[in-house]
Amino acid sequence: MRVSFMGTPAFALPSLTALMAAGHDICLVVTQPDRPAGRGRVPTPPPVKLAAQELGLPILQPEKVGEPAVMSALQAAQPEAIIVVAYGQLLPKPILTLPPHGCLNLHASLLPKYRGAAPIPQAIIQGETVTGVTIMQIEARMDAGPILMQQPEPIGDRDTTGTVGERLAIIGAELLCQALDQVARKTVHPIPQDERLATYAPKLLPADTHLDWARDARALDCLVRGLCPAPGAVTGFGGRRVKVLEATVEAVADSSPGTVCAVDQKKGILIAAKSGGLWLTQVQPENRRAMAATEFASGYRVRPGDVFGPS
């Protein structure tokens, strides 16, 4: 089938390459503009742009997908369907109605749960044990279109947004190709979403990343894993922000939340929460590289009785 692909981050790459491998004709790739990144704020192309360049595909990088130039390019490309994977913008109605087979989206949750920009981190932060992928027809409302196919995927105790995202990207790419084949053969059976079960996963804000040691250790562990590898859960020590990149739950005798209960040269730094505690094993101090918590404890002279708190 002749398709246009809209996507931006690494999560979208398996879908792009799977569509190519399945023999579909990618007539146009639409992705976000280059954005400043890193300490030098150097303009950096999104992963989908780099992949499309390697594949020799035509690329469009509009600031807004509703720009007239986008519609003109799509009309010229004449896609039979538009595939959207983590593109980052809602499509206007003129684009939704352009291709004869419609617009299909790969979403990283079992819709109608976790509609929105951050379905994987929010599922882990909420302590879910199962998530999955959904292929749906796009409509004007965000992530509310009829479901074509779904596949669940378990979330393990040590899974992070990074590990789950890698698996869902591959599972979703395979499912996307199957769904597109069914659309082409007109054998697909869209199922409306049950609005009563809808939940939302909005974009994460800096305020969502703070570790509140007055919460249970299990909830803090979910937050650390849900924010890994980026943006990272944050706490404070000695007036310095510290990202917690890895941690494990441990039983702790009664101690005030945030108090350092132990420093171990193999395990790291044990901090009390409201119930239980966390062994910090990998951290990143502000403006420093990531390091083992044991190295941080040695360098910053962390001792039992010290207190981690608001960043």
Query: Which residues fall in the annotated binding site for (6S)-5,6,7,8-tetrahydrofolate?
Result: 109-112
**Contact criterion met (CB below 8 Å) for 107 and 201:** no
Binding residue numbers:
109-112
**Contact criterion met (CB below 8 Å) for 62 and 92:** no
Locate all alpha helices (DSSP H) within the chain, ordered by sequence: 13-21, 47-55, 68-77, 93-96, 119-125, 161-185, 217-226, 293-299
Tally of CB atoms within 10 A around 102: 18
- Phi, psi (5° rounding) for residue 229? -90, -15
Q: Is the peptide bond before 79 cis (omega within 30 degrees of 0)?
A: no
Measured over the CA atoms of residue 20, residue 22, residue 23 and residue 25, the dihedral's sign is: negative
The beta strand positions in the chain, using DSSP E, are 2-7, 25-30, 35-37, 42-44, 59-60, 81-85, 103-107, 130-137, 147-154, 233-237, 240-250, 260-264, 268-272, 277-285, 291-292
Which pairs from 73-78 meet CB under 8 Å and 24+ separation?
Answer: 73/28, 73/30, 74/4, 74/28, 74/98, 77/2, 77/4, 77/27, 77/28, 78/2, 78/27
Rounded Cα–Cα distance for residues 161 and 164 (Å): 5
Rounded Cα–Cα distance for residues 279 and 311 (Å): 18
Rounded Cα–Cα distance for residues 263 and 261 (Å): 7
- Among 160, 273, 291, which Cα is nearest to 226's? 160
AA identity, residue 65: V
